[in-house]
Amino acid sequence: MSALTQEGIAAATHSGRTTATKWLTRLQSTGLVAGERAHVPGHRVRKTAYRLTHEGWVEAMKMRERFQGDIVEVIAPNLNPTQMRVADIPEIFPAYVNLTAAVSLLRGGCLDFTKLQGIGSGAVAPVLWGDTVRRLGRIFGRSEESRALDAWCSSSSPLLVVTGLAGIGKSTLVANWLVRQRPRPYIYWFEIQDGTTRTMLLRDLAAFLARLGRRGLKNVLAERPAEGSTVIERVLAHDLRDVSILFVLDNFQSAGGGLSRFVSGPLLKLSEETSTKVLLISRTMPSAVLRRKGAKGSPPQILRVGGLDLSASLALLRSKGFAGDEGALQRAADSAKGHPILLSFSAQTGTTVSGAITRYLEEEIWRTLSADERAVLEASSLFRGLVPLEALHHFSPAWQTAVHGLQTKNLLAPTLSEGVVVHDTIRDYIRERLPEARRRQFHSLAALYFLDGSEMRDRLEGLFHLVEAGDSKAFGGYLVSEAGGLLDSVPATELLQVLRTMLVSGLEPLPTCVLPELMGDALRASGDSTPALLEYRHAVQRCEANGHPERVPRLLRKMASIERCRDENAKALGHLIEARARLRAFPQIAEEGEILRELALVELAQGELVQASADLSAAVDHATEG
């Protein structure tokens, strides 16, 4: 929260307080920024915290697109003046600036690190990575748990498991402790969802390490996405050398077998051999992780988080504005048994609580929400992980007021990355009671937001919401128009996870042909050649049945490529001969060149060098004509 005050904004933009005040006033007058009085950790009185309005978000997105094309001159130690895009500067100089600082420090189309005081020394500022890290508010009690976290941090134990009931405050406790760490290590926070795979974690981890200037894992995943555990472990050992990182994996009870094995195996082994530590937040005890005996002999530690004590419960109720005398306050605290969510609900209704959280939500909380608050909460419960604030205007015109009300009721939790998250218990309750028609409508609106974006994650989330909306026509249309470039921007394993949930029966003829081909491409990129071959054969059958035989030569060429890589040159040659024969009915110069190129590679593998050279020359000629 302190980063959103005038002092925090001035520090982030490397400008003076008066300059920041002047520009914030101007932005407020244009309606791009709004200021609200809020409690800021470390300050006794309320301060003004600033946020972007919907119009501000629109302008910010336009600016980000502009930075993708604007070219400036950059001067740095041991580097000649170099022209580069503004958006690339933080990626190339992660030890110097982020995007905000880079834009703020530009002068006359030039960014000169050598002339800036305190910048360019090579020291990387502390990094806290993770979209779903809770934004800090006031925390009640938990002094004993904080001391236990401090003791583990200074111990030789590489692993801590923080466990407790759903909604008891595990993530909030850890986030509060992390942000107050001094000196703070690099912190990697990753929230595991249902269906999160090892590859998803590795890609996110690679982006984090690249931010620290360590690009080994990112380069390996870019070149060989299906690389085995041994190579990944060696690359990670190199990237993690001489750096102190705290890994926090939230929601670990949702980890599948592959991800759990990676954490209990390579990751924990690396934490024992390097100066990294691993903290798991889980509702249940991860037996596979705890059974592993560390090489250093330091056993894992366990922190069980229970309910708040009576004094902390009373303090939370008072802070939430509980309406009642001391007797009612005491009864409400006793009925909640220290559960923070139930205490917040009790403060909102002014009554005691009883029974399960979901039943109390139905009987006491849901009926008190306005129509806008219900719409925003329902929509937020359908997102996977972080809910971007700028997406919520699609669901309610009064979304800002609704978000504020839901945060007050403890139904939405703000994060450090300007988004919100919904607690698992509340999300499950909302999803169970949401009517099917309304669920599909909200998924369609979410897809509309994401597919308008330009980021990799936006495309993937847009496809996910189209599938969940059951909008076969829109899904098929997007596949036909974007299938050729999807794998260039979306990880193959994550794309497969979404595509496998789509029912082919609802698609039109052309998308029915495109879907198995795209799945084959994704499987091939993941290193699963046999399933990819089956998908390509299925795509050939679909093309012939649905009247699109012009697509078959490309599929045969892809099948030939797989067979060649498996040293089945005779089969590969058969596919290529059939592909060339089919091209006579549907001439395609570019595809003819690709088939000739593949044919030259098969001939080269067979030792027919003269014919391979001739076919490769012909392929170059076709490429030039095309």
Q: Residue 60 is part of a domain; what is its CATH number?
A: 1.10.10.10
Q: What is the model's pLDDT at position 379?
A: 93
Give yes or no: residues 140 and 87 share one domain: no
Q: Are residues 620 and 516 in the same domain?
A: yes
pLDDT at 122: 39
Tokens of 312: 């902390």
- State if pTM tops 0.75: no
Binned at pLDDT 50, 70 and 90, residue 3 comes out as low
The torsion defined by the Cα of 423, 427, 430 and 433, in degrees rounded to 10, comes to: -140
Is pLDDT larger for residue 439 or for residue 349? 439
339 against 543, higher pLDDT? 543
The pLDDT of residue 533 is: 93
Is residue 443 in some structural domain? no
Task: Identify the residue with better confidence: 356 or 391.
Answer: 391
pLDDT value for 272? 82
Whether 201 has a pLDDT exceeding 90, the answer reads no
Residue, of 506 and 524, whose pLDDT is higher: 524
Predicted local distance difference test score (pLDDT) of residue 557? 93
Q: What tokens appear for 150 in the block?
A: 């401090």
CB distance 413 to 386 below 8 Å: no
Domain final position from 304, 322, 340: 304
Domain finish residue from 367, 398, 416: 367
Mean pLDDT of 160-171: 85
Residue 19 placed within a domain: yes
Please state the rounded mean pLDDT for residues 73-90: 73
Percentage above 70 pLDDT, the chain: 85
For the segment 614-622, the average pLDDT, to the nearest whole number, is 84
Model confidence over 255-307: pLDDT tens digits? 888 888 888 888 888 888 888 889 999 988 887 777 765 545 577 889 998 88
Q: Cα–Cα distance between 281 and 161 in angstroms, integer?
A: 6
Stretch 590-608: mean pLDDT: 89
> Strand 33-38 relative to strand 301-304: parallel, antiparallel, unpaired?
unpaired
Average pLDDT over residues 319-335: 75
Same domain? 258 vs 316: no
Q: How far apart are CA 133 and CA 175, in angstroms?
A: 6
Residues 285 and 175 in one domain: yes
Residue 180 within any structural domain of the chain: yes
Task: Assign 365 a pLDDT band (cuts: 50, 70, 90).
Answer: low
Does a structural domain hold residue 444? no
Does residue 537 share a domain with residue 473? yes
Provide the pLDDT confidence category of residue 228 given band limits of 50, 70 and 90: low
Q: Which domain holds residue 33?
A: 2-115
558: pLDDT strictly greater than 90: yes
Q: What percent of the chain has pLDDT above 90?
A: 16
- Predicted confidence at residue 123, as pLDDT, reads 39
Q: What radius of gyration, in Å, describes the C-alpha atoms of the chain?
A: 28
pLDDT at site 119: 44
Backbone angles phi, psi at 163, to 5 degrees: -130, 155
pLDDT over 60 (residue 15): yes
Nearest-10 Cα torsion for 394, 129, 194, 380: -20
CATH number at residue 620: 1.25.40.10
Q: Taking 70 as the threshold, does the pLDDT of residue 79 lie above it?
A: no
What is the per-residue pLDDT for 20? 79
Return the DSSP state at 367: G
**pLDDT over 90 at 316, yes or no:** no
Q: How many domains does the chain have?
A: 5
pLDDT tens-digit map of 121-137? 333 445 667 777 766 66
Indicate the pLDDT class of residue 517, thresholds 50, 70 and 90.
Answer: very high
Domain contains 440:
no
466 shares a domain with 393 = no
pLDDT at 50: 82
Helix (H, G, I), strand (E, B) or coil at 59: helix
- Looking only at the bridges linking them, the beta strands covering 301-304 and 47-52 are unpaired
Q: Are residues 108 and 138 in the same domain?
A: no
Domain CATH number, residue 238: 3.40.50.300
Between 42 and 282, where is the model more confident?
A: 282
Are 472 and 576 in a shared domain? yes
Q: What is the mean pLDDT of residues 603-613?
A: 88
Are residues 478 and 529 both part of a single domain? yes
In three-state form (DSSP H/G/I as H, E/B as E, the rest C), the secondary structure along 465-528 is HHHHHCCHHHHHHHHHHHHHHHHHHCCHHHHHHHHCCCCHHHCCHHHHHHHHHHHHHHHHHCCC
Would you report the helix, strand and coil content of the chain in percent, each value rounded to 5?
Answer: 60, 10, 30
Q: Which of 261, 283, 304 marks a domain boundary? A: 304
Q: What does DSSP say about strands 79-85 and 71-76: parallel, antiparallel, or unpaired? A: antiparallel
Same domain? For 484 and 583 the reply is yes
Structure tokens at 593: 């060149």
Residue where the block lists tokens 């999807």: 486
Q: What is the model's pLDDT at position 120?
A: 40
Using the predicted structure, report yes or no on whether residue 440 has a pLDDT greater than 90: yes
On whether residue 449 sits in a domain, the answer given is no
Residue 439 domain-assigned (yes or no): no
Q: What is the mean pLDDT of residues 480-485?
A: 80
Average pLDDT over residues 200-218: 84
Q: What integer is the mean pLDDT of 522-529?
A: 86
- CA distances (Å), origin 293, targets 272, 302, 409: 11, 15, 43
The strand pairing partners of 186, in sequence order, are 245
Q: Which helix (H) or strand (E) holds 122?
A: none
E strand or H helix that includes residue 204: helix 198-211
User: Within this chain, do residues 257 and 176 fall inside the same structural domain, yes or no?
Assistant: yes
Amino acid 280: pLDDT = 92
Burial 392-431 (b: 16+ CB within 10 A, else e): bbebbeebbebbebbeebbbbbbbbebbbbbbbbbbebbe
How deeply is 316 buried, as exposed, middle or buried, from its count of CB atoms within 10 A (0-12, 13-18, 19+)?
Answer: buried
**Could you tell me which of 597, 585, 515, 518 has the C-alpha nearest to residue 553?**
585
- Report yes or no on 102 lying in a domain: yes
Q: Specify which residues 242 forms β-bridges with.
A: none
Same domain, 260 and 335: no
What is the reported pLDDT for 92? 66
Mean pLDDT score of the chain:
81
